[in-house]
Amino acid sequence: MLYRTAGQFKTSYRADQALFPIRQDAFLLGVILLCAWVIFPLTASEFTFQTILTPILIYSLAALGLNILTGFAGQLSLGTGAFMGVGAYACYKLITLMPWLNPVVAILMSGVFSAGVGVLFGIPSLRIKGFYLAIATLAAQFFLVWLFEKWAWLYNFNSSGAIQVPNLDMFGLYVAGPQASSMTQYYLVLGITCLLTWICINLTRGTLGRTWKATRDMDIAAELIGIDLMRSKLTAFAVSSYVVGVAGALFVFMWRGAAEPNLFDIPLSFRVLFIAIIGGLGSVLGNYLGAILIVGLPVVLNTVPRAIGIEIDSALVEHLNIMIVGTLIIFFLVVEPHGLNQLWRLIREKLIIWPFPH
Amino acid sequence: MKTLTRLALAAAIGLAGSAATAEGIYTPNLSYRTGPFAATGIPIMNGQADYMTMLNARDGGIGGAMIDFEECETGYSTEKGVECYERTKAEAVVTQPWSTGITLQVLPKTNVDMIPILAPGYGFSPMANGKVFQWAFNPPASYWDAASMIMQYIADGDMESLKGKKIVLLHLDHPFGKEPLPVLEAMAEAYDFELVPIPVGLKEMQNQSAQWLQIRRERPDNVVMWGWGAMNAGAITEAVKTKFPMENFIGVWWAGHDEDLKQVGQDGKGYKSISWSMPQPDAPLMADIKEYVVDAGLSQQEDLNSVFYQRGLVISMMLAEAIRAAQEMHGVTEITAAQLRDGLENLNITAERLEELGMTGMVPPFSTSCSNHTGHSGAWMLEWDGEKFVQASDLLAADASFITPLEEEKAAEYAEANAPWPVNESCE
């Protein structure tokens, strides 16, 4: 009914391979973009910006970066948190060494540093695979967090060992630091997220994406049909770490405002990995769905009892919250092991052939 | 299924019925009754909540206004802390951030949101400088005070006697644990003793055998500990295991938790902890707490005489006195956040006032001012006697000649790094 494809004829291969072969998909994306760009900012409160909208976008972007590596190129990584940290510290150093630098340029540049570090730690992937590679990236995780703690130059010899985002302005408007308004920061995060998502969609659908998928599905076969594995794996590490690094810079500069080294420790890596797995490995949309579930849901659950007038002890809410979110994760993985993205694809499929089930 | 629904419904109604919705001055507390630091958090949170409950029940609030004391659970996580801050800031008159991470995050926003931070005995030591940190308060003593007082206790008043000694600083590798380093380093240079900082990573808190091996090798005269949560219990059990002489082992005030010492009991005898609060089981206040809160079944605390519980009471007392001062200064009952800031700046906790409150001896007298947001009350050394903490020294006072210049230097650095940062030049 909603997804009626009758009357939508494809007359060329180009039309058949379009990103949105069905008109309704493009329409749906339009509605989502309209919500994100116009309706949410007009209606959201400071609380919503700070605890739901901005963090969901940033975590989605980080998960997208990880998904390129793990979902598309098949290289399992447990070092996402540390790569986010590289982005954040690089951005901090860029901003403090060159205060005249445009903040957006600094954020986009900081990804280059994490891409470099990512490639460096990606080199072992040429020889080791699967769980062994996971251990190598785990080493990156521990080493980098250790470095953030011990290398005082990174945090400008601050006695507390934490980095603090200064007030940064762009064309007379504060975009980072305590003076910046949440809405400005949201728009910046949204802009960068949309841009990187657009680039990633195109990358994964093009030649590079196909070589990644071939590497993921069977690397020996890929090599036999002439794919350069080194190039394929290292580009995956570079692109993935770039996106993750930008997400890390946004994480600290556009949202948190301050960071200590252990913020980038393994729990953050796991969180991003869970978002990617629950959202669906090898998808772009799944990262957003996963982030909504993992980041957004606990906040909403915390607000519900208060909103309907039930006064529950705050610690009890927290305990309930952990249980409910945990149960939901298990539930979704049982119902659909391929993630929320697959769930949505099944729903869409059913809607298209409705009312005639197979 | 039906019974399950009914059960859930009954539970919901029961919970809804037990908590009355209070109107009045909203003072949220970013508590942590869950997570790795819960064991130390719970008694303090209980103390804070019980004092306010007692005031509401006994006096009908403060100056006629009921106190709406609500907790927002953070589990000591910075992310949750920011969520709580955003959730509560619309109506809150105060922010009680509790973790150093959350304090660091909220501190830069204070000038914009105009809500005072109350961080008693924790947070960033330069917050004492009220000219720069107009909205942050850490009465009655800062970490730098603690470092100075511990060194004075070790030297027994004669700082020259520290010459040639070796002091190990066993600290959490975290902004909190690094706080005392600037003062201790300056003192090591001035008095010519050797300072050996030994960091304990967040992952190694419960297993400190490597650190204690190093301590055994270093053979220090004293070990000073900046620990929190699970780190304290780990260090104390390890010290007992390696037979480190307990009387040479001194912790900051957050490392003086009764439960940590009860684990080792008699073996921990002699362990010391500096503290700006002291349990007074016979104080008149405790009788009121018992009558209005404990006997009424409103308290979750079991041991009313533990150091941390009574410290929680003192913390809420400071907030309550600030509210009272603000009410008097502005002649209103329902104060705003900006008015509370004035109250916190004019805290005057004299010995007489403590007597009136029935809290003599629970905290040293102190007062704050426009330029001094800490009060520098001084502190006592407490000693574990095998069963409980007892007083082991007279009131110690921090050496301002070390601390004030450092405070000014670091506060100026902070203001510069966060420019534009408003500085209140009108202060004396």
Average pLDDT over residues B353-378: 90
pLDDT at B18: 35
Candidate from A149, A164, A311 with C-beta closest to B173: A149
pLDDT at A358: 64
Q: How far apart are CA B277 and CA B308, in angstroms?
A: 9
pLDDT at B176: 85
Rounded alpha-carbon distances, angstroms, from residue A265 to A138, A259, B369: 10, 12, 40
Average pLDDT over residues B77-106: 86
pLDDT at B13: 39
pLDDT at A89: 95
> Which run of H or of E encompasses A299?
helix A297-307
Average pLDDT over residues B201-219: 89
Residues of chain B contacting residue A178, judged by C-beta atoms under 8 Å apart:
108-109, 111-112, 418
- ipTM for the whole complex: 0.80
Q: How do the domains of chain A map onto residue ranges?
A: 46-353
pLDDT at A181: 87
Rounded alpha-carbon distances, angstroms, from residue B329 to A79, B342, B349, B367: 55, 8, 16, 16
Q: How far apart are CA B83 and CA B78, in angstroms?
A: 9
Average pLDDT over residues B206-234: 90
Share the mean pLDDT of chain B. Answer: 87
In the predicted structure, residue A135 carries a pLDDT above the cut 50:
yes
Tell me which residue of B394, B367, B366 sits closest to B381, measured CA to CA.
B394
**Is A263 or A89 the better-scoring residue by pLDDT?**
A89
pLDDT at B53: 92
Band (pLDDT 50/70/90 cuts) for residue A212 is very high
pLDDT at B20: 36
In the predicted structure, residue B19 carries a pLDDT above the cut 70:
no
Candidate from A51, A313, A316 with C-beta closest to B86: A51
**Beta-carbon separation of B15 and A310 below 8 A:** yes
Band (pLDDT 50/70/90 cuts) for residue B365 is very high
Yes or no: say if A112 and A242 are a contact pair by the CB < 8 Å rule.
yes
**Which domains does chain B show, CATH number per domain?**
24-142+280-377 (3.40.50.2300), 143-278+380-406 (3.40.50.2300)
pLDDT at B428: 67
Average pLDDT over residues B407-428: 83
pLDDT at A1: 67
Average pLDDT over residues B27-54: 89
pLDDT at A351: 86
Least confident of A278-292, B2-16, B232-246: B2-16
**Beta-carbon separation of B83 and A302 below 8 A:** yes
Residues of chain A contacting residue B83, judged by C-beta atoms under 8 Å apart:
50-51, 299, 302
**Is B230 or B193 the better-scoring residue by pLDDT?**
B193
pLDDT at B340: 92
Torsion on CA atoms B118, B119, B125, B129, rounded to nearest 10:
10
DSSP state, B346? T
Preferred mutation among B171, B178, B416 to probe A, highest tally of A CBs within 10 A = B178
In the predicted structure, residue B181 carries a pLDDT above the cut 60:
yes
pLDDT tens per residue across span A329-348: 888 888 888 889 998 888 88
Q: How far apart are CA A205 and CA A287, in angstroms?
A: 17
Quote the pTM value. Answer: 0.86
pLDDT at B400: 85
**Beta-carbon separation of B419 and A159 below 8 A:** no
Maximum pairwise Cα distance, chain A: 68
Average pLDDT over residues B332-350: 91
pLDDT tens per residue across span B268-300: 999 999 999 999 989 999 999 999 998 888 888
In the predicted structure, residue B318 carries a pLDDT above the cut 50:
yes
Domain boundaries A46-353, CATH class: mainly alpha
Average pLDDT over residues B304-320: 92
> Cβ neighbours of residue B266 under 8 Å, at least 6 residues apart?
B386
A18 to chain B, closest Cα gap in Å: 40
> Cβ neighbours of residue B62 under 8 Å, at least 6 residues apart?
B25, B55, B320, B323, B324, B327
B95 to chain A, closest Cα gap in Å: 16
Average pLDDT over residues A15-31: 86
**Beta-carbon separation of A257 and B181 below 8 A:** no
